Amino acid sequence: MVPTPGRIVMYGLSEDDARHITQQRAHHGVTGNFVREGDRYPAVVVRTFPGNPADVANPDGEDTHWANSRHEGDEPGTWAWPVRS
C-alpha cells in the first residue's frame, strides 16, 4: 500500500520527537501524557512526495508535531499501517 493524504497511520516517536513535543507543550502551557521514544500514536498523513520512495510521508498528530519525511518501519521515528483486528 502507498500512503496518501488523509490516511491514518501509527507513528513511533523518536527521541527528538518526544523532546520537541514536551518542549512545545511547556512553551504553550499545554499538559498531556508523558511521551517518550518508541511510543506509537495515530497520525494523519498530510503530505506525500511524488518521486520519493512510496514509504515516505508526513504523519502528524494531536500535538501538531510535524514528523517530516518519515519512512515506514517498526523503529522509533517511523510510521506503520494500523494493525487490523
Q: Does residue 57 sit in helix, strand or coil?
A: strand
Q: Residue 60's pLDDT is what?
A: 56
DSSP 8-state class, residue 24: H
Strand ranges for the chain from DSSP E: 8-12, 40-48, 57-60, 79-80
The pLDDT of residue 62 is above 60: no
Among residues of the chain, what percentage have pLDDT more than 90?
A: 31
Give the separation between CA 8 and CA 27, rounded to whole angstroms: 28
The pLDDT of residue 51 is above 60: yes
- Residue 57's beta-bridge partner residues? 48, 70
Would you list the domain boundaries of the chain? 8-80
